Structure 1
Amino acid sequence: MAAFLLLFYLGKTSNMNLKTLALSSLILIFTSSCSGTYHAYYQTLKIVFSEQQAAQLSFPEVQQSEIDVISVKRGERPSAIMALAYLENNQHKWVSSDNVMLVMEKGRVVRTLGLDNNLLYTSNSEMDPLKLLQFTLKGEPKSKTWSRIVDRSSDEYGYPIESTFNQASADTIQALNLNIETVLYIENLSYMAPSNYLRFNTNWKNYFWFTNNGVLIKSIQQDSPLSESLEITYLSRISRLNQ
């Protein structure tokens, strides 16, 4: 089915550039071998393959979108819009027009494609406390500590990371011109082994903002102390919560 959709779109588009073709191949290869895949709307492909430059969407535009969209700010770069392309194996796979894919589990980025330095693998994801926070928003996570191993494309393989979560605190964020009351969890992370490279900082923080009923609507994440942060805002979720 994925191959059919991509080939159909390629056949209908006469000015497809090499960059778009590369992204098409990436998505096809990444998903064609998976079974039980639930595809998002065909309009996802239109967003991904278009050359639109707008980095922001208004509240009405998000409401009118037939697919879920997020805003992603990578490091100091301008924010970009990404679309939900696939839901499979309890993972959300978001794609952008510049050949980037983010693979998330319950809001945690567990794999990336198309970046200069990619997160290739995250172990023990089933024990991520983020998957339990929705049941304990007024207190501490059921599991406060999480250990895992990550592989990165910069010749960093098998690096152990340990993180602990602070007790939730109230916070207010702004998105789509709305002030939203949230519950903030701060994750404190540490590299637990020496790096292949000179590293002055082995500790860092991630941030996760939930609504009072347990819906994740924003996060700021890094998978290493030197990687670029990913500031992710769930525009479609916010829109649905404020209809």
Structure 2
Amino acid sequence: MNIKTIVFAIFVLAGTTSCSGTYHAYYDTLKIAFSDPQDASMTPEQVSASKTDVMSVKRGERPKAIMALAYLENGQHKWVSGDNAMLILEKGRVVRTLGLDKNLLYLSNTDSDPLKTLPLQSKASAWQRSADWSEDEYGYPIRSSFSEPRSETLHILNKNINTTLYVESLDYDAPTDYIRLNREWQNFYWFDKQSGTLVKSTQTLSPVSEAIEFIYLSRIARLN
């Protein structure tokens, strides 16, 4: 069963448990995500008119895509795209993927993720967890720590956004597959200073993964 079929099933279920107007509003937004555009983009007016949250995603050297928020469950945001991918995030961090060439199946110790306790405290900025991957790869240990935040201004949707940037330095202490590769990398998280909302991040899931850039268009549209 591919991701489009899964998402369609989710929305059929949503249509049986909520009003018809809500179901159609979500489906109309998903048509944007399923259109498979090249370097997809949305105007501020289109973002504001969307009935569900949308974000811009760029994975590696691929064209930018629009992803729609398909489901919110137990603190997890599940986003779908037109290239048969689903990304599952908790407080802005990718904790599971579907439809990629190699998928993150599980991330342990997510309750201790420092991203869930912003602003970060120096004594709580380090974090250890393990990752399970497709193709029978399990229990790869990851260590990370966060640097002191710095200020940075972003220009998105015709807005200048004053942000606090947190840089996460990661070490992938894997015993086998990645022994000959660079095991260190960085992730980046930009939070709106006024509201504390995460508006952008760039995350690399492992040393052999492509970087993924997330820009939360709907959140940005709602900023004052």
**Aligned residues of 2:201 and 2:215 also touching (Cα < 8 A):** yes
How many Å apart are 1:71 and its aligned residue? 0.4
Partner of 1:176: 157
Shift of 1:196: 2.2
Q: What corresponds to 1:3 in structure 2?
A: none
Q: 1:147 to 1:170 in 2, by over 3 A?
A: same
Equivalent-residue separation in structure 1 for 2:10 and 2:141 (angstroms): 26
Deviations 1:46-76 (A, max 9, x none): 3335436260001111011111000000011
SS at match of 1:189: strand
Matched with 1:26 is 6
Residue 53 (structure 1) aligned with residue 37 (structure 2): yes
1:131 corresponds to 2:116: yes
Q: 2:206 — aligned with what?
A: 224
Correspondence list, 1:154-165, <5 A = 154-165=135-146
Q: Return the letter of the residue paired with 1:115.
A: L
1:114 to partner: Cα distance:
0.6
CA contact (8 A) 1:103 1:111 kept: yes
Q: Is the 8 A contact 1:171 1:182 kept in 2?
A: yes
The corresponding residue for 2:216 is 234
Aligned partners of 2:117, 2:107: CA distance in 1, in Å?
A: 18
From 187, 192, 196, the counterpart of 1:214? 196
Normalising by structure 2, what TM-score? 0.86
Number of equivalenced pairs: 215
Instruction: Find the counterpart in structure 2 of residue 187 from structure 1.
Output: 168
CA deviation digits over 1:9-64, x for unaligned, max 9?
xxxxxxxxxxxx8334323678999xxx999x423333335436260001111011
The structure-2 alpha-carbon separation of the partners of 1:48 and 1:188, relative to structure 1 and needing over 3 Å to count, comes to same
State the distance in 2 between where 1:38 and 1:56 align. 30
Residue segments in structure 2 that go unaligned for 5+ positions in a row: none
CA distance in 2, matches of 1:223, 1:56: 25
Gaps of 5+ in 1: 1-20
> What is the distance in 1 between the residues matched to 2:131 and 2:11?
22
- 1:44 partner letter: Y
In percent, how many aligned pairs have the same letter? 51
**Correspondence 1:85 to 2:70:** yes
Aligned to 1:97: 82
Alpha-carbon distance, 1:225 to partner: 1.3
The more displaced of 102-111 and 50-59 is: 50-59
After TM superposition, give the deviation of residue 195 of structure 1 in Å: 2.9
* Counterpart residue type for residue 231 of structure 1: E
Give 1:193 deviation, angstroms.
Answer: 3.2
Q: Which residue type is aligned with residue 95 of structure 1?
A: V
Which amino acid in the other structure matches residue 100 of structure 1? A
Aligned to 1:108: 93
